[in-house]
Amino acid sequence: MSRRFAFYAAIQNVPEGRVATYGRIARAAGFPRCARQVGQALAALPRETSVPWHRVVNARGEISTRAGGTSQRRLLEAEGVEFDARGRIDLGVFTWREDEV
């Protein structure tokens, strides 16, 4: 399986109402320290996809600006993910843990 598809498979495990950082996805896919490559893989996704790309955020709990900001926030809020006044997600509350699968 290519690295890109390993990332997609890991993202598929993130349940509704949870988020994962680029680094967490890289580790879950077996490629630690490849967070940037997770971002590149997400950028390569076709517009119509079943991969829940919107559940991947940066290490500060923010939506990366290249990721599609407004629509990503809307999708996450529809799943119950909350943002603070600075536009950050409390990763202590909303982070996916691999044992939740």
User: Does the pLDDT of residue 66 top 70, yes or no?
Assistant: no
Tokens encoding 72: 């990503």
Per the CB < 8 A criterion, the answer to whether 95 and 77 are in contact is no
pLDDT in tens, 74-88: 999 999 999 999 999
Please report the domains of the chain, with CATH numbers, ordered by start residue: 3-94 (1.10.10.10)
Tokens encoding 71: 């629509």
pLDDT computed for residue 82 by the predictor: 98
Tokens encoding 93: 């509350």
CA gap 87, 40 in Å, rounded: 23
Tokens encoding 78: 């529809």
User: Does the pLDDT of residue 95 top 80, yes or no?
Assistant: yes
Query: Which of 44, 14, 37, 10 has its CA nearest to residue 25?
Result: 10
With vertex at residue 98, the alpha carbon angle to CA 92 and CA 101, rounded to the nearest 5 degrees, is: 115
| pTM assigned to the model | 0.91
